[in-house]
Amino acid sequence: MDRIAIIGGAQLHGEIPVSGAKNSAIKLMAASLLTDEPLRLTNMPRLADTRFLGKLLSRLGASVTESDGPDGQQTLLHAPEITSGFAPYDLVRQMRASFNVLGPLIARTGQAKVSLPGGCTIGARPVDLHLQALEALGAKIDLHEGYVYAQAPRGLKGAEITFPFVSVGATEHAMLAAVIADGVTVLHNAACEPELLDLQECLNAMGAKVEGAGTPTVTITGVARLHGATHAVIPDRIEMGTFAVAAAMAGGEVRLTRARPGLIDSLLVKLEEAGCGVEPTADGVIIRRSAERLKAVDIETAAYPGFATDLQAQFMALMTVADGESRIRETIFENRFMHAPELMRLGADISVSGGEARVRGVARLEGAEVMATDLRASVSLVIAGLVARGETTVSRIYHLDRGFERLEAKLTACGAQVRRIKGDGEAEL
């Protein structure tokens, strides 16, 4: 099993291009099931998660072709016919978001059998809201032996759906199912994340009629069919925020390009509060920090546009060497402080009580062997390793490969000493 080794102490100087958003790309890929014409997605990240979903889509009847086009990395998806409505556990369990093929399958073919996604290390994340939304649209849902059996032989019907609490996945799933339903669907208390607006723009390019994505009320007027389209995936705000924190941690000056800094305003405000320089540019943002120690600041995760839960672990790593004590409150997911004990192996002073962590900054971290517990936790350990004295080795980095494209190469290009150690012990620079 691969590991990543980091020698701490080097400042970061250079430019990092931000990849397309993982959280958007996988939902856009699922949208390809809604039409018998090709969907071309540009600015596509090459990640374990997108390839997992590609395997599942291929099983369902889609062709998935990756290539380098005039607009960079692209994926061409084409499902002229749905040859199977069965999404097995061995594929769905590898990535929860693959459960979102259920809605498009029901909408297009009137039936599907999709595995429940199973447990998650950072919390329960049930799919109840997904299923309730599909039932409101007229699908008959049965659960049996870990599978969802769904039927809508006469097609889905538009409906008023009010989510009891904000759910990004359920909002996206309802949008995917409702675009070719008969009638108008209105989603109340919808999630407002920018990835939803990206999904709306892609669906509308395919001929859908969706309005309001990015606000609490989304209106979908069903159409008879969708057609093919070309759509550029939005920049990954979590990758952008991660590299911004890495630059703040290591010091130096990093220019993030192909990025939209407005998507991470909540983070950039906190970086400035801590003492970082933040300078928006025409195509991104510059993060700079002198040798002066950062100040401790508090954060509380919240739904967009609040501080993203997917940046909480990275920010905690930054606060481990800040001057003073910071309080970090996690309000989105339970069990999302599993990176804290691993950061403590590097010498961090952290105490966790319920949904709050107190981080008392230390003068220096020390390199050690640590283990990734989930996607965002894994990169927080890499960030901490950038300043830890000596060598830090992060194991179980298959989590990292799910959501970060060419992480080692992007950091190394800016002066970091980061290398991948292959499972057989051979290092890969």
**Which residues are known binding-site members for UDP-N-acetyl-alpha-D-glucosamine?**
96, 125-129, 310, 332
Annotated binding site: 22-23, 96, 125-129, 310, 332
Ranges of beta strands (E only) in 312-402 are 325-329, 349-353, 356-360, 369-371, 391-395
- CA atoms of 287 and 291, how far apart (whole Å): 14
- CA atoms of 32 and 78, how far apart (whole Å): 7
Burial class (CB in 10 A: 0-12, 13-18, 19+), 45: buried
Number of helical (H) and strand (E) elements in the chain, helices listed first: 14, 25
- Count of CB atoms within 10 A of residue 9's CB? 15
Beta carbons within 8 Å of 244's beta carbon, 6+ residues apart: 254, 256, 264, 267, 268, 271, 285, 287
What residue has token string 């008969």? 182
- DSSP calls for 378-409: HHHHHHHHTTSBSEEEEE-THHHHHH-SSHHH
How many CA atoms, within 13 angstroms, populate the side-chain half-sphere of residue 418? 28
> Chain centroid to CA 293: how far?
30
Q: Which of 371, 384, 382 is nearest to 410 (CA)?
A: 382
Residues 134, 106 contacting (CB under 8 angstroms): yes
For 403, left (φ over 0), alpha (ψ -120 to 50), or beta? alpha
Burial class (CB in 10 A: 0-12, 13-18, 19+), 282: exposed
- CA atoms of 10 and 65, how far apart (whole Å): 39
Run of H or E including 102 = helix 102-109
- CA atoms of 90 and 54, how far apart (whole Å): 14
Residues 77, 41 contacting (CB under 8 angstroms): yes
Q: Which residues pair with 428 in a beta bridge?
A: 420
> Mind telling me the catalytic residues?
120
